[in-house]
């Protein structure tokens, strides 16, 4: 443990800056708001923060469409604000990771404005351009994640450009050495400022198939993929050619070589491919990314068997790398609604946090999970997410998980002095930080107890994992480090369970984690509703 890098087994708290705290009264969160609440974050017992994009952007995709990689958008503050944030976080013992969106830029980026002007300018081939077919239609059948063709016509060049996301997010041409060098130079700018890590958005989308081959169709019965909704035409294809190309591996090694010049810096890749677990293993093998995470636990699937199978499959293929797990983020329905439905409770919230934080790997936890927030139900007129607006009413988009943090139960929930960019529902104000602080049984205090307890459990942070074949609804596994074994068992249901449980050697129950505790009686394991048991041997 003493020699382990900081990121191995770390709990990384994701901050969505638009929705964390507004200090200037414009209804949108900002970097000074993060600074103001860093003491709160440090008090949760987490190891690091990951800040979603705060760079200069027209905000078509709320910061994931970057117009200048080296400037803070005035909506969020200034570079001086970021430097102050970094200094305070480090003073509190928190590492700082920032999002880097490398595969595409905003259409307002200076590179793209130059590239689209002609076919012979210095940056003409910095993006993915292609001639139309003879009938004027796009060059192939690739689709955008946000629905419809992944090609947008540009009359200046009389060509199409590729966009795997929104039409205003053109894809860079990573086949060009100059593009890769420019991207790495932008990354170096933030490394020089002292960031501790990078969360790499959609990192498997950097390269495309240079031959622009069509993607094959996916049978209708298989269009219920874990990463993409079945009502989105994106699910109709096997995405073999528009992402996850073999050339990307060499680029990851280029990136890692640069990161290695900054001791202690870590890279976490977001990976969504046809076989995300296999790609995660491949991307963290050898001298590539330090960690990777995929979408397997960000889906509606919820059972002990599903979680066990997912972890076991990754453990089978990941022979070298280090995983990172997450059950919530800014792109999916909040976990208490997704997995808890109408049964959401503080007890379940704390158990789910403990479960994911006990798996082998590092963990990303999303702001508001410590409060037990559920998905906000918003009317159509309140939506801001282009994804939700396009797919309404079958899919309501990502706004429901992005509503502002409720700091107190008064007007605008203490987030802002004015109406916020998204409304705060009444049920979130009832779970405000100010209400939960003084309640020892609150989700917030349960979260704090577990996180601080976990810090003293080396086997849970860095140990190997052995999954146990228990019946539903019990998920159980053993973590082992330096001869110490810790059994972790979770009843994922709202009903008490009892089962015969052959123990992996003599074990003594561990206390102090703050969860609803189960008991061991000989070879009988008893777990109350959403109960958990930790035992050491």
Strands 322-325 and 362-366: parallel
Is 36 tagged catalytic?
no
Query: Tokens standing for 525?
Result: 């394991």
Report CA-CA distances (Å) from 303 to 267, 299, 306, 330, 334. 30, 11, 5, 23, 17
Contact present, 301 and 226 (Cβ < 8 Å):
yes
Query: Which DSSP category does 496 fall into?
Result: -
Is 370 tagged catalytic?
no
Contact present, 37 and 89 (Cβ < 8 Å):
no
Strands 55-56 and 68-72: antiparallel
d(CA 103, CA 247): 13
212 phi-psi bin (left φ>0, alpha ψ -120 to 50, beta other): left
Cα separation of the two ends of the chain: 18
Best CA proximity match to 335, nearest among 354, 356, 355, 352: 352
Task: Write down the catalytic residue from 22, 30, 196, 201.
Answer: 201
Tell me which H or E stretch contains 292.
strand 291-293
Q: Enumerate residues 6+ apart whose C-beta is below 8 A from 487.
A: 476, 477, 478, 503, 504, 507, 533, 534, 535, 536, 537
* DSSP three-state, residue 54: coil
Task: Write down the catalytic residue from 30, 61, 99, 270.
Answer: 270
Q: Is 337 exposed, middle or buried (0-12, 13-18, 19+ CB in 10 A)?
A: middle
d(CA 156, CA 269): 35
Residues with active-site annotation: 201, 270
């Amino acid at each position: 443990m003493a020699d382990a890098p900081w990121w191995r087994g770390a709990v990384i708290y994701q901050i969505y800056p638009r929705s964390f705290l507004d200090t200037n009264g414009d209804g949108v969160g900002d970097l000074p708001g993060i600074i103001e609440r860093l003491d709160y974050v440090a008090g949760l017992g987490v190891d690091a923060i990951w800040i979603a994009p705060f760079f200069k952007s027209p905000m078509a995709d709320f910061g994931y469409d970057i117009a200048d990689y080296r400037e803070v958008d005035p909506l969020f503050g200034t570079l001086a604000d970021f430097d102050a944030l970094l200094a305070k976080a480090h003073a509190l013992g928190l590492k700082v990771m920032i999002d880097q969106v490398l595969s595409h830029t905003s259409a307002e980026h200076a590179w793209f404005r130059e590239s689209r002007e002609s076919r012979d300018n210095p940056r003409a081939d910095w993006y993915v351009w292609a001639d139309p077919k003879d009938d004027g239609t796009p060059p192939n059948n690739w689709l955008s994640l946000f629905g419809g063709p992944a090609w947008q016509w540009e009359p200046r060049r009389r060509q199409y450009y590729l966009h795997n996301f929104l039409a205003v997010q053109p894809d860079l041409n990573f086949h060009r050495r100059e593009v890769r060098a420019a991207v790495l130079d932008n990354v170096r700018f933030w490394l020089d400022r002292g960031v501790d890590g990078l969360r790499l958005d959609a990192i498997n989308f950097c390269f495309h198939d240079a031959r622009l081959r069509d993607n094959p169709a996916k049978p209708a019965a298989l269009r219920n993929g874990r990463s993409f909704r079945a009502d989105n035409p994106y699910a109709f294809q096997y995405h073999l050619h528009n992402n996850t190309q073999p050339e990307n591996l060499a680029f990851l090694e280029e990136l890692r070589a640069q990161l290695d010049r900054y001791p202690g810096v870590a890279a976490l890749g977001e990976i969504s491919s046809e076989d995300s677990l296999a790609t995660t293993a491949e991307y963290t093998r050898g001298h590539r990314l330090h960690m990777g995470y995929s979408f397997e636990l960000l889906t509606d699937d919820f059972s002990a068997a599903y979680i066990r199978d997912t972890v076991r499959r990754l453990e089978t293929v990941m022979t070298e790398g280090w995983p990172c797990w997450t059950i919530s983020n800014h792109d999916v329905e909040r976990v208490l609604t997704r997995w808890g439905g109408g049964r959401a409770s503080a007890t379940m919230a704390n158990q789910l946090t403990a479960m994911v934080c006990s798996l082998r790997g590092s963990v990303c936890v999303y702001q508001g999970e410590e409060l037990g927030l559920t998905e906000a139900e918003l009317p159509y007129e309140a939506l801001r997410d282009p994804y939700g607006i396009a797919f309404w009413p079958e899919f309501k988009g990502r706004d429901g998980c992005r509503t502002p943090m409720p700091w107190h139960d008064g007007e605008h929930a203490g987030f802002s002095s004015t109406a916020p960019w998204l409304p705060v529902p009444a049920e979130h104000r009832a779970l405000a930080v100010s209400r939960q602080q003084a309640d020892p049984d609150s989700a917030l205090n349960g979260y704090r107890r577990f996180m601080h307890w976990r810090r003293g459990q080396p086997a849970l942070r860095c140990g190997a994992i052995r999954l146990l074949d228990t019946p539903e609804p019990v998920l159980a596994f053993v973590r082992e480090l330096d001869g110490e074994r810790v059994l972790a068992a979770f009843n994922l249901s709202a009903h008490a369970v009892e089962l015969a449980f052959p123990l992996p050697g003599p074990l003594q129950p561990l206390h102090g984690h703050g969860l609803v505790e189960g008991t061991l009686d000989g070879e009988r394991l008893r777990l109350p509703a959403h109960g958990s048991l930790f035992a050491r041997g």
